[in-house]
Structure 1
Amino acid sequence: MNEALRILIVDDHEDIREPLAAFLARYGLSVSTEADGGALRERLRREQFDLILLDVMLPGEDGLSLCRHVHEHHGIPVILLTAMSDPADRIAGLELGADDYVVKPFDPRELIARIRSIFRRARMAPRALSRPLGGSQCYRFADWQLDLSKRELRHAQGRVVELSAMEFRLLKTLLEHANTVLSRERLLNLMNKADAPVFDRSIDSQVSRLRKKLEDDARHPRLLRTAWGDGYLLSADVHLLAT
């Protein structure tokens, strides 16, 4: 990995964050550490990072709230460090904008693999993972435009709709296979190509949330349609454009 990549570890347990920082530094990463949410917010006002490793159970403001803040205001990839074993809790973190999670206790080598995976997916130069490259691509469909660099969904009338990390991955997958019925299993397989954890029982709820954002009437969808017994399809002419 490139030594210019900057990692911020936020964990209130010194016996976790400091050994982890030393381990990551052995891979050529530039690593900083903080112990709580207030320090994280202050650090982000002064510095830029390429990735944040964020503990969920922090004193004061918890990691899930901080993850939402980072996703909405900084656009920096986040890996949650969590002791939560319930898939529903982990899904909640992904829906708030986390790019991945690692369950404690974990093998640091697994964390390295997940960090590499996120940097591969981002396809951005070091020190610029939170900023779009010059020029970007977007999908245009119906009255909508999805900017892939900004992860921004914009209506033709100008309003911007926020998407969670999982909603973005789901919509991108549907756009890549427009006018094709995708079973839940097929959707899972396609979304997992990005090395992102997705859970079968979450697909229906993600489709429902996305439908409410896309459709004028979510009860009678015309874009994100259900093929009863088979799965879902996005029914629209889709164009991939350079902007």
Structure 2
Amino acid sequence: MTEPSKKKLLVVDDDQDVRELLCDVLSQKGYAVITAENGAAMWPQLQTQTIDLVLMDLFLQEEDGLQLARQIRDQYAMPIMMLTGKGDETDRILGLELAADDYMMKPFNIRELTARIYALLRRASAIPATPIKVEEAHECLRFGHWILDRTARTLKDIHGKQISLTHGEFSLLEVLATHPDRVLTREQIIDYSRGLETEVSDRTVDVLILRLRRKIEINPKTPEFVKTQRGLGYLFQGPVRKN
């Protein structure tokens, strides 16, 4: 019987060698690992067991891994990591936007893979199983212990405490949270932000970033969510979940 403290991972891959490798490696790291070669074998596992994270091959034989991941996301809240041997950037962005919380290329570095799995599980544990009640008709984004209500244009923590944001701060956070795990230049942020002030400059974006960090980050100097990409712009670290 699985120990209650063990996190349970589901590996979905049509390559038996990959399944066995991941099962061995992750079991040695203390995880309980179950495997499935396709969607038909995957669904009974999801329906009968509590799965903490899914690792799924993007290109399964005769099946679309992205479609399966999106179906999982419609019913379950656990993190999903996509694995693929193809380096198409379009697939990467599409996968992250549609369903996945992270993405790795085959052949992957085992140390990096296990580190990313640990990070996904740690961030997911910060999102409670029974979050505060919000209006069902409202469009909300959840990240860490925050709930961004795009309909009411409010930001609350999981205990219901509302954080005061200016119009510009909210618009900036909305842009970042709707484009998680992607580097956005200052120009892109300005283009996406219809709610920012009329006269917007790169400096305005930087100032708003600093103000936003002071409100949502535990330590603004080492941000967990809004990360600077030197010479490029900013990246909002996911996962971000929609209600």
For residues 3 and 176 of structure 1, what CA distance do their matches in structure 2 show? 38
Asked if the contact 2:66–2:99 (Cα under 8 Å) also holds between the matched residues in 1, the reply is no
For residues 171 and 146 of structure 2, what CA distance do their matches in structure 1 show? 26
Say which of 194, 199, 202 aligns to 2:183. Answer: 199
Asked if the contact 2:78–2:124 (Cα under 8 Å) also holds between the matched residues in 1, the reply is no
- Give, in angstroms, the shift of residue 144 of structure 1: 5.4
Asked if the contact 1:3–1:29 (Cα under 8 Å) also holds between the matched residues in 2, the reply is no
Say which of 11, 16, 19 aligns to 1:17. Answer: 19
Asked if the contact 1:12–1:35 (Cα under 8 Å) also holds between the matched residues in 2, the reply is yes
Secondary structure of the residue that 1:122 maps to in structure 2? helix
Counterpart of 1:38 in structure 2: which amino acid?
Answer: A
Aligned pairs for 1:41-190 within 5 A:
41-124=43-126, 132-136=128-132, 146=140, 148=142, 155=151, 179-180=168-169
Listed one character per residue, the Cα deviations across residues 38-70 of structure 1 (whole Å, up to 9, x for unaligned) are: 211232222220000000010232111011111
Asked if the contact 1:51–1:78 (Cα under 8 Å) also holds between the matched residues in 2, the reply is yes
For residues 70 and 151 of structure 1, what CA distance do their matches in structure 2 show? 22
Listed one character per residue, the Cα deviations across residues 111-144 of structure 1 (whole Å, up to 9, x for unaligned) are: 11001111221234xxxx7xx3455487x9xx95
Asked if the contact 1:24–1:112 (Cα under 8 Å) also holds between the matched residues in 2, the reply is yes
- Give, in angstroms, the shift of residue 83 of structure 1: 1.6
Counterpart of 2:14 in structure 1: which amino acid?
Answer: D
Counterpart of 1:50 in structure 2: which amino acid?
Answer: D
For residues 131 and 39 of structure 2, what CA distance do their matches in structure 1 show? 33
- Give, in angstroms, the shift of residue 182 of structure 1: 9.2
Counterpart of 2:182 in structure 1: which amino acid?
Answer: V
Secondary structure of the residue that 2:63 maps to in structure 1? coil
Listed one character per residue, the Cα deviations across residues 66-106 of structure 1 (whole Å, up to 9, x for unaligned) are: 11111111122100001221322201100012000111101
Listed one character per residue, the Cα deviations across residues 143-169 of structure 1 (whole Å, up to 9, x for unaligned) are: 95636379785746xxxxxxxxxxxxx
Identity of aligned residues (%): 33
Counterpart of 1:199 in structure 2: which amino acid?
Answer: V
For residues 118 and 109 of structure 2, what CA distance do their matches in structure 1 show? 15
For residues 107 and 40 of structure 2, what CA distance do their matches in structure 1 show? 25
User: Unpaired runs of 5+ in structure 2?
Assistant: 153-163, 210-214, 217-243
Larger relative contact order (Cα-Cα within 8 Å, sequence gap ≥ 6):
1
Asked if the contact 2:12–2:54 (Cα under 8 Å) also holds between the matched residues in 1, the reply is yes
Counterpart of 2:113 in structure 1: which amino acid?
Answer: L
